[in-house]
């Protein structure tokens, strides 16, 4: 990892009152970006081909550093896997990149929009499926998608059309009129994913998107995500399911105790770590995080 200079804590005031996961903008329309040095003018894409640039992003919770000066780039259109053990700092990083948490220090640029200067501008171009689903349980699935689409500024008719297509696509059409409170966990996950997609984001943050989703829907979702990257959408994705990573990700970063310990294609990392091209990703992962895998039995289990 490249060394990063420590930047002082900066004031980082979220300006949006939108609920988590909801941006607010007319879709397929370039947004004006205010007050950013790396500004892209309406109709132009940011230079350099980077969808994400992290600049020393740091989060300290009550004296404990959860995310420690992360600095890396993600090129546009990448299926980017963000991996690491429990408590490594993955969700905290995603929360900072999406404006749900204020960084203690550092900054990031998302599709040319600087987080510290135009949080609402960032929210306009991103979608997020967070770890804790931000669903309003007293709405029906269909009402929730209507709400999400309207919050992003989509016209009512277009919202309705996209909501119907998404519900059909994710096999939720028969449950469209059911209260979210009565959805199963997997159904809630699929609905939250639909809400993250409805405004056609340029960068999609997915925190454990496949958790609780059945294999058929999982394949539908991963096929869709792959088609999105082919159209230039960038996916920033966490999962603990390593064969999904191997199948889908163009590039990965591995975080351990708040720091990046490896980044690149899976083959690059195999080469760097000298584990051999036939080593499983699990072996590579265990080596990277120097996991202390317990081999001895728990004597009292089954006794």
Ligand X SMILES: Nc1ncnc2c1ncn2[C@@H]1O[C@H](COP(=O)(O)OP(=O)(O)OP(=O)(O)O)[C@@H](O)[C@H]1O
Binding positions for Mg ion, rule: CB under 5 A: 90-91, 131
Q: Which is nearer to Mg ion, 91 or 159 (CB)?
A: 91
Q: Which is nearer to ligand X, 113 or 245 (CB)?
A: 245
Closest CA relative to residue 71, chosen from 120, 167, 7, 142: 7
Q: CB under 5 to 8 A by kind: which of Mg ion, ligand X, none does 99 bind?
A: none
> What is the DSSP secondary-structure string of the chain?
-----------------SPTT-----TTSPPP--S-TT---TT-PPGGGEEEEEEEEEEEETTEEEEEEE--EEETT-EEEEE--TTSSHHHHHHHHTTSS--SEEEEEETTEETTT-HHHHHHHEEEE-SS----TTSBHHHHHHHHHHHTT--HHHHHHHHHHHHHHTT-GGGTTSBGGGS-HHHHHHHHHHHHHTT--SEEEEESTTTT--HHHHHHHHHHHHHHHHTT-EEEEE-S-HHHHHHH-SEEEEEETTEEEEEE-HHHHHHHTT--TTS-HHHHHHHHTT-----S--TTTT-
Minimum CB distance to ligand X, residue 86 (Å)? 3
Q: Which of 33, 88, 145, 163 binds ligand X (CB under 6 A)?
A: 88
CA gap 90, 31 in Å, rounded: 28
Residue 149 contacts ligand X per CB under 6 A? no
Encoded tokens for 171: 């096999």
Minimum CB distance to ligand X, residue 179 (Å)? 28
Stretch that binds ligand X, among 80-88, 182-190, 218-226, 264-272 (CB under 6 A): 80-88
Minimum CB distance to ligand X, residue 71 (Å)? 17
Residue 61 contacts ligand X per CB under 6 A? yes
Q: CB under 5 to 8 A by kind: which of Mg ion, ligand X, none does 250 bind?
A: none
Residue 89 contacts ligand X per CB under 6 A? yes
Residue 91 contacts ligand X per CB under 6 A? yes
Q: CB under 5 to 8 A by kind: which of ligand X, Mg ion, none does 86 bind?
A: ligand X
Residue 92 contacts ligand X per CB under 6 A? yes
Residue 103 contacts ligand X per CB under 6 A? no
Minimum CB distance to Mg ion, residue 244 (Å)? 16
Query: Could you tell me how many residues of this chain bind ligand X (CB under 6 A)?
Result: 10
Q: Which of 31, 76, 90, 199 binds ligand X (CB under 6 A)?
A: 90
Q: Which is nearer to ligand X, 68 or 142 (CB)?
A: 68
Q: List interacting residues with ligand X (CB under 6 A).
A: 61, 66, 84, 86-92
């Amino acid at each position: 990892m490249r060394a990063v200079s420590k930047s002082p804590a900066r004031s980082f005031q979220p300006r949006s009152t939108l609920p988590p996961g909801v941006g607010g903008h007319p879709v397929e329309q370039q947004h004006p970006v205010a007050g950013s040095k790396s500004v892209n003018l309406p109709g132009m894409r940011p230079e350099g081909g980077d969808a994400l640039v992290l600049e020393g992003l740091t989060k300290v919770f009550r004296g404990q550093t959860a995310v420690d000066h992360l600095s890396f780039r993600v090129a546009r259109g990448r299926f980017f896997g963000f991996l690491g053990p429990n408590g490594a700092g993955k969700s905290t990083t995603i929360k900072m990149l999406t404006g749900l948490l204020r960084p203690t220090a550092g900054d990031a640029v998302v599709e040319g929009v600087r987080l510290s200067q135009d949080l609402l501008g960032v929210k306009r171009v991103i979608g997020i499926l967070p770890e804790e689903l931000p669903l309003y349980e007293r709405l029906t699935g269909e009402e929730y998608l209507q709400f999400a689409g309207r919050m992003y500024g989509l016209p009512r008719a277009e919202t309705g059309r996209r909501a119907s297509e998404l519900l059909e696509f994710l096999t939720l059409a028969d449950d469209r009129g059911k209260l979210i409170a009565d959805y199963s966990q997997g159904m809630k996950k699929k609905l939250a994913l639909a809400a993250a997609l409805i405004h056609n984001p340029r960068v999609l943050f997915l925190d454990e998107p496949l958790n609780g989703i059945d294999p058929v829907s999982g394949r539908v979702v991963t096929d869709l995500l792959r088609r999105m990257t082919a159209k230039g959408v960038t996916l920033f994705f966490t999962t603990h399911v390593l064969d999904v990573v191997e199948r889908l990700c163009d590039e990965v970063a591995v975080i351990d105790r708040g720091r990046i310990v490896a980044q690149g294609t899976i083959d690059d990392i195999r080469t760097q770590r000298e584990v051999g091209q036939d080593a499983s990703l699990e072996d590579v992962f265990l080596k990277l995080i120097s996991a202390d895998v317990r081999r001895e039995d728990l004597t009292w289990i089954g006794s």
